[in-house]
Amino acid sequence: MSRRARSTPSRKQQHVALTLNRNVGFRSKTTGLEHLEFVHNALPELNLSDINTSTPFLGKLLAAPLMVSCMTGGYGEARTINRRLAEVCEETRIAMGVGSQRQALEDTHYHSTFSIVREVAPSIPIVGNIGAAEVAAMTTADAALRLVELIGADAFTVHLNPLQEFLQPEGNTNFRGVLRGIEVLVRHLPVPIIVKEIGAGISAAVARRLLDAGVRYIDVAGAGGTSWAGVETLRRKDRTVAEKFWDWGIPTADAIRDVAALKKSSPAFTLIASGGITSGLDTAKCLALGAEIVAAARPMLKTLQEKGAVGLRAMIRSWIEELRGVMFLTGSATPAELRNAPLVRYA
């Protein structure tokens, strides 16, 4: 096994440990969602029983427009974490993404930490994942196809993380060719490509370039939740430069609004909102801003760690119930109707 192949599992384990056990949230920047409120509809003209939170995604029907976002896999303990996450997602009928599958390209030792997800969650959308720097080096879709097949993926995510790679002690900052690599995957993979950030946000200008390349699923993954710049800062010996980038990024609410505006002039695409989502109310606000699906990672993993599968199931169900409440109080019978519900901003 190469030194690089040996180091990847250790790094993945460190990432999960830091996000769960250290304060790696943004310090002075928020998602912006806390400044938005729904306009109360005192005459909703529907019954609570009329509300239907189900949402189609990747050819399957979710109980609600929610996804456990990409976070873990590729080291020993990740098999248990991914199995438990997938079991809960299957039971609650929400989507799930695995963490970066880069390690699975390097050797087969931890393949089961990824494949277990499909084994225990046969009916929900499962999403694969690889980093932009790896995509930049691809000349064909063959390697990505192996990763798709490993987990029976319904879609494949390319995560854009130039800030993280810049600050990561062993980071790969070779990003020239990422868009070309994405185009190769769009043309040749049998499943849709999702392109996401990891907490610094996607701007309207970048989203436009992705749409022009044929991408039809964009996850803005805005700033305000986990700071991966913060995670990498904590992994460094010299933090002088890295500290300055802890709060870098586009707030989630701004990223959703700006990318959603492209729907007026672009081919149809699915907008996924993530980055600091912590409740069903946040989920509802993201939908009203223009998202179709809302994703979260750290709150799900943290709850699993502290309260187990029972606690995670309860949290997901409470989020869905909060979403139903917002839909009832805005007169929105479906998530699609909620996207027309007015939001107001306060100081």
pLDDT digits (tens, 9 = 90+) for 15-45: 888 888 888 999 999 999 999 999 999 999 9
Residue 99 tokens, joined: 């963490």
The CATH number covering residue 318 comes to 3.20.20.70
Q: 175, exposed or middle or buried, with CB in 10 Å at 0-12, 13-18, 19+?
A: middle
Q: Pick from 166, 165, 147: which is nearest to 156 by CA? A: 147
pLDDT of residue 145: 98
- Backbone φ, ψ for residue 326 (5° rounding): -65, -40
User: What does the pLDDT average to over 269-283?
Assistant: 98
pLDDT of residue 2: 46
Residue 174 has pLDDT above 80, yes or no: yes
User: 347 pLDDT band (50/70/90 cuts)?
Assistant: low
| pLDDT tens figures, 200-253 | 999 999 999 999 999 999 999 999 999 999 999 999 999 999 999 999 999 999
pLDDT of residue 7: 63
User: 340 pLDDT band (50/70/90 cuts)?
Assistant: very high
DSSP character for 76?
T
Number of domains in the chain: 1
Residue 8 tokens, joined: 């990847």
Round the average pLDDT of the chain to a whole number and report it: 95
22 versus 190: the higher-pLDDT residue is 190
Residue 345 tokens, joined: 């901003």
Extract the runs of DSSP E, i.e. beta strands, from 41-105. 55-57, 60-62, 66-68, 95-97
Query: Which range marks the domain in which residue 106 is found?
Result: 3-345
